Amino acid sequence: MLALACIAGLALFFHLDLRRFLTLETLKANRQALEQYHAAHPLTMAAGFMALYVIQTALSLPGATILSLAAGAIFGTLMGTLYAITAATVGATLAFLVTRYLLRDAVQNRFGDRLEGINRELERRGLNYLLFLRLVPVFPFFLINLAAGLTRLPLRAFFLGTLLGIIPGGFVYVNAGASLATIDSLSEIASPRVVASFALLGLLALVPALYRKYTNQRK
């Protein structure tokens, strides 16, 4: 039943072309209206935003970047980061669980070749490799969720690795959204310096795993 609901949600999203609403131009055009609604209904706005972000992430739909920018534009950097990170982690965990228990064969058949390398490293190095993948934009966010669901990676490790790993990137985009008027394109946000910083953090996350591998080989 849940699998059918996920498929129906995906079909509805693309049939109605809802992606056209998840653009930088649309967000800018509607920012004032969103801020006014938030001022009048703060709890409803926060709950609705988080629910939308959870659904988007759980169904692996496009639009995460725009939602993160919207979090900053509507709620400010601090609360926007909290809402976006929490919702993204919950949504990713749902995708992980659905893949592991309901869609394992379908995902393996559809993405098997692309997931093979990720699966192997996740099984060997677990949390450290997941942190690396979350910090460094090597693979799409949704593919990591699907790949992890096919491995024996514990749920707790997935949840913790996702939560910690997406904080830096989430903060960057939410903070950019707080200054939405100054952004003309999404490419301006992920500058080479920012990407290099994420890469460095990702490599640091791999250090414990690489050290264990080195010591095992020495033994």
pLDDT average, residue stretch 123-144: 80
Whether residue 55 has pLDDT greater than 90: yes
Which amino acid is present at 158? Answer: F
pLDDT average, residue stretch 160-187: 87
- Per-residue pLDDT reduced to its tens digit, 63-120: 899 999 999 999 999 999 999 999 999 999 999 998 888 877 776 676 666 666 666 6
Look up residue 209 and give its two tokens: 């795993």
How far is the C-alpha of 54 from the C-alpha of 85, rounded, in Å?
10
pLDDT average, residue stretch 152-169: 90
Residue % of the chain over a pLDDT of 90: 37
15: confidence class by pLDDT, cuts 50, 70, 90 = very low
Whether residue 1 has pLDDT greater than 60: no
Question: Given this model, what pLDDT does residue 42 score?
Answer: 95
Between 61 and 188, whose confidence is greater? 61
